[in-house]
A = this chain, B = another copy of it.
Amino acid sequence: MFVFCPGTQICFLESSCFNMIVLSSKVSDVMFMEAVQVLALTAGPEVFPGYSSSAMSEAVVPDALVSPAVGSMYGEKAGGPTVDFSYVGIDAILEQMRRKAMKQGFELNIMVVGQSGLGKSTLMNTLFKSKVSRKSVLATAQEKIPKTIEIKSISHDIEEKGVRMKLTVIDTPGFGDQINNENCWQPIMKFINDQYEAYLQEEININRKKRIPDSRVHCCIYFIPPTGHCLRPLDVEFMRRLSKVVNIVPVIAKADTLTLEERDFFKKKIREELRANGIDVYPQKEFDEDAEDRMINEKIREMIPFAVVGSDQEYQVNGRRLLGRKTKWGTIEVENIAHCEFAYLRDLLIRTHMQNIKDITSSIHYEMYRVRRLNENNTAVAHANGIPEHHLAAHEM
């Protein structure tokens, strides 16, 4: 049944399954047939409520005539909208993906490594603002340095604009603080591999979880002390070994002790040393996927390591609240790129490359671990059973 009342601007359609009343300020007598057609086309999403896009929910009543997918069917023809006859709607999958991702939430695991007093906790607090439960700077100073490296994970559920993320910060107190720091990278390497192993065991399980919990370390921020000279042997040794198993993001800590000239010299020197030692930090050149990646990442590679300053102290400057460090000679604003490079680090880790950091972890570092482990396994099984190795096809489980 169709009822159309031009005076009241109400159009009523009843089909066998549902009723709809649509108010329109645009409808005229001659547009009747068109309105009915639009109504028909838009009924789909009306039938499946909750699958309307944000565009839909933001729309006022007259615009709500047009459903999210169908909305894009309208061209710019003068005299009223025209249906794009050939529109299928496959782009609606992006909205479906977005909804699913928002339901599921995300996981991000960040490890911080560097000797005590370089502001690791403070930088994490600066990156994630008040969302990460923080310990005060003073409390840290009172803590004792552990005799061996401890690995401490703390998870936080944070949410912004409906996007939920489980952020896990993995701290490594004790690293580089001993008299003899030989092999102090070992417990960290073991921790990273243990997470890959846990993931692998779940993945190859016959009855595996629908969504494998991801405790893999997506990125390791390595804190370089602001000496202004060159990397120390411990820095080189750590990054050389760990860059093969995890995304290393080196930063120059407490960069407010360096003048701009010193900072530029130090950064250049570090880039040279990384190159000379064959250390490939994130974003790694070999993992650029296309020309666009290459262009973007090349600019980042020319800037690393970022010279950062962290702060969990708020200041008011010209009526604005900001995070900074106040001294007699001025206030350093940590998010001001004229003052330090914290904002670049934040953008890289969160706003532009977070997905890529997770992807590289999964498709490169984890895959390399997996290949190594399965090859070991095959060899071990072959030896145990007395089977020549070449008889074990890669795909046999």
Mark A residues whose CB is within 8 Å of B: 2, 13, 15-17, 33-34, 36-37, 40-41, 43-45, 47-51, 69, 72, 82-83, 85-94, 96-98, 100-103, 106, 127-131, 158, 160-163, 165, 201, 204-208, 210, 260, 264, 289-290, 292, 295-296, 299-300, 302-303, 314, 317-318, 320-322, 333, 335-338, 343-344, 346-348, 350-356, 359, 363, 367, 370-371, 374-375, 377-378, 385, 394-395, 397
Contacts and interface: CB of A to CB of B under 8 A. Distances in A.
Nearest to A96: B355
Contact of A335 (B41, B106, B204, B385): B41
Contacts of A314: 85
B397 A51 contact: no
A72 B72 CA distance: 25
B337 A51 contact: no
Most buried by B among A47, A127, A129, A321: A47
Given A16-B260, A89-B160, A346-B89, A335 B101 contact: no
* Total copies of this chain within the assembly: 2
Nearest to A83: B320
A165 B90 contact: yes
A106 B131 contact: no
Contacts of A2: 338
A300 B16 CA distance: 13
B101 A17 contact: no
Nearest to A394: B206
Nearest to A165: B90
Given A92-B354, A93-B355, A129-B86, A40 B98 contact: no
A3 to B, nearest CB: 13
A97 B101 CA distance: 9
B16 A264 contact: yes
Given A90-B158, A160-B89, A205 B394 contact: yes
Contacts of A88: 127-129, 131, 158, 160, 346, 350
A359 B354 CA distance: 23
A58 B337 CA distance: 25
A84 B160 CA distance: 12
14 contacts: A2-B338, A37-B322, A44-B337, A44-B346, A47-B347, A48-B299, A48-B352, A50-B292, A82-B320, A87-B129, A89-B347, A93-B163, A210-B363, A210-B367
Given A2-B338, A92-B350, A87 B204 contact: no
B201 A395 contact: yes
A363 B314 CA distance: 47
Nearest to A159: B90
B296 A48 contact: yes
A350 to B, nearest CB: 5
